[in-house]
Structure 1
């Protein structure tokens, strides 16, 4: 029997046929588990659970026009979506643990795709709304509390640890990064990697410089702000438009803005 025939037979065995009536494809590899609660609707979506991963989806969720893939890696084998969750237009590829509580909204609202890719753990409380992008690498940990709102085109990028408290308002185009994102190699090394992995640019084999980012509760972060590695915001901090923070601690109840200077000619 050819390998192609074997793959087709395995797919037919692993396919959950009842979701075809909702125009969805749900595949659970042998050894993996998927539990779906009552009144949950999976519409025009694709869900894949592989590598002995266990996924639990709560009651009364709506998953629409999504692609959700779950794999086990770095010792992580459990993921869960709480009840009354709403996922709309989400692409999620999780090599690790994705856990969120009840009443969370993940929604693509702009023309920029909502890309949620990670290798590590993403742990979310309840009653949050996310329209941003996540990128988690190197088995990093991201912890987000309750009643937070993160708007379109904002980007959480973690290679170590990002922690966000409760009741935060995070605007558009906000960068929250705990990492330099890239290493600086010698020109000869960068050329070697570029040629070897072309057309994939920027390939690296080691974690860049990182330092955890922590955001407290009841903070406001304005549009185009950048909260970079090693930054800590205590509670009730306001970060002004286009403000850049790097490796600094902002005390409780403070408003911080970049210095603006004008030159009149």
Structure 2
């Protein structure tokens, strides 16, 4: 069974590598690594995908780059397991940035109307670029929404929803309060 698993994983990896190498608008630097079960969906008319040097995608990474969209990833960027990038306009990530498990980047959202027959459009989107600076660390389960710029040297703590710009040299954390009280339960 182990031999079958290894062969199957090799086939999946070679399929993804073929997609990356065959597209004329995709540039791949040196030491590009990706783990098991990575899913790359690239529109045939994308504008640019640039993976600079020493990029490491762990396992279960999902990348979607749409028509006329740009995805630029700097040198030495690391994505932990289960990260997802959904790019319909432009996402740019600076050098030496780290992504914890489950980080999600969305440069778009669905269009909707707020009139009396509230409608959400399934195939129409509002977009705005995302820019993440150099030497940043986005902790596990961070979500970054469209139009956000994160400056250089920023730490974003686990579970934060980033919907507005974060200046350089900042630390952002989710402010929660956990109250633990005593109970009358005895056994």
Q: Give the TM-score normalised by the residue count of structure 1.
A: 0.56
RMSD between aligned residues: 2.8
Contact 2:112 2:119 in 1 (8 A): no
Kept in 1: contact 2:51–2:73 (CA 8 A): yes
Instruction: Describe the superposition over 1:146-176 as per-residue Cα deviations: whole angstroms up to 9, x where unpaired.
Output: 0010011110111100000100111100011
Structure 1: runs of 5+ lacking an equivalent: 1-22, 24-42, 46-63, 71-78, 82-93, 191-201
Q: Which has the higher contact order (CA 8 A, sep 6+)?
A: 2
| Match for residue 172 of structure 1 among 98, 101, 104 | 101
Q: Which has the larger radius of gyration?
A: 1
Aligned ranges 1:100-249 → 2 under 5 Å: 100-108=28-36, 113-119=37-43, 120=46, 121-131=48-58, 132-180=61-109, 182-184=110-112, 204=123, 206=124, 208-246=125-163, 248-249=164-165
Distance in 1, matches of 2:13 and 2:97, equals 28
Unpaired stretches in structure 2, ≥5 consecutive residues: 1-6, 182-187
Give the direction of change, closer, same or farther, for the CA distance of 1:65–1:168 in structure 2 (3 Å limit).
Answer: closer
Query: What is the Cα deviation at residue 118 of structure 1?
Result: 1.5
Count how many residue pairs are aligned between Structure 1 and Structure 2: 166
Write out the 4+ residue segments of structure 1 that deviate beyond 2 Å after TM superposition: 182-190, 261-265
1:255 aligns with 2:171: yes
| TM-score, with structure 2 as normaliser | 0.77
Provide the rounded CA distance (Å) in 2 between the counterparts of 1:135 and 1:253.
Answer: 29
- Match of residue 10 from structure 1: none
Once the two structures are superposed, residues 208-253 of structure 1 have per-residue CA deviations (whole angstroms, 9 ceiling, x without a partner) of: 011110001111110011111111111110000101111x221111
Distance 2:150 2:39 in 1: 26
